Amino acid sequence: MLKLQKQLLTKGGINILAALARFTNRLIAAEAAGGLWNLSIGEEHKIAITEAGGVKAQVDLIFKWLIGIDGVLEHAAGALANLAANEE
């Protein structure tokens, strides 16, 4: 799993996930938010997610789908919580 995360980071996958999190289809956006949630655990990924606009994408998702549908809110809130956490 760590190797796949590294590849996502180095090959622009985080930018793609951040863009997909802005998608108008809620299922696609939820899956992208879930991917960002998983990647938001590592410190190096936090920076990449932030630079890719992932924080705004997650906040926008929460406001777009205020009623929890298909895990959108859980994924977006989980990613934001991880991004806000300080591992030090």
Q: Number of folded domains in the chain?
A: 1
Whether the CA torsion 19, 29, 77, 11 is positive or negative: it is negative
- What pTM was estimated for this model as a whole? 0.82
**Ramachandran quadrant class, 29 (left: phi over 0; alpha: psi -120 to 50; beta: rest):** alpha
pLDDT digits (tens, 9 = 90+) for 8-21: 666 788 899 999 99
CA distance 70 to 54: 19
- Whole-number pLDDT of residue 20: 92
**Ramachandran quadrant class, 33 (left: phi over 0; alpha: psi -120 to 50; beta: rest):** alpha
Range of the structural domain that residue 43 is part of: 2-84
SS3 28: helix
